[in-house]
């Protein structure tokens, strides 16, 4: 009887461990995908000619997760003839929590 109770506690603890571990892995995978999408968006944007670099917004779905990609461009920041390009990717980590990844670069008008 005592052995059954102890074994039950061990089984419940092990199951809880795996559930929490899987949730952590899923969140890290979403973060990795978000950073990759931000990097891809920045690369596509800075590959454009300087006058065409501008803000844009896109929705993408990877697997079952919806990502919002927002690229912004600030001209003459921090100096003249430089555009600061920022990409922020957001997604829902849980039904009530939103996560984001943001990358920034600068482009010189040569």
- pLDDT tens for 20-41 read 656 667 889 999 999 999 999 9
CA distance 105 to 43: 10
DSSP the chain: -HHHHHHHHHHHHHHHHHHHHHHHHHHHHHHHHHHHHHHHHHHHHHTS-GGG---EEEEEEETTEEEEEEEEEEET-SSTTEEEEEEEEEEESSSS-EEEEEEEEEEE--
Query: Class for domain 2-108, per CATH?
Result: alpha beta
**Mean pLDDT within 55-66:** 96
**pLDDT for 25:** 77
Which has more confidence, 57 or 14?
57
The residues spanned by each domain of the chain are: 2-108
**Mean pLDDT within 75-86:** 94
Average pLDDT, the chain: 88
Binning pLDDT at 50, 70 and 90, where does residue 10 land? low
């Amino acid at each position: 009887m005592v052995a059954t109770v102890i074994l039950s506690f061990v089984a419940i603890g092990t199951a809880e461990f795996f559930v929490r571990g899987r949730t952590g892995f899923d969140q890290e995978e979403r973060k990795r995908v978000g950073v990759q999408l931000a990097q891809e968006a920045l690369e596509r944007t800075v590959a454009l000619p300087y006058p065409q670099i501008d803000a844009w917004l896109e929705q993408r779905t990877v697997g079952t997760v919806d990502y919002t990609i927002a690229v912004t461009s600030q001209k003459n920041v921090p100096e003249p003839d430089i555009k600061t390009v920022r990409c922020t990717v957001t997604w829902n980590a849980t039904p009530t929590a939103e996560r984001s990844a943001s990358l920034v670069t600068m482009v010189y008008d040569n």
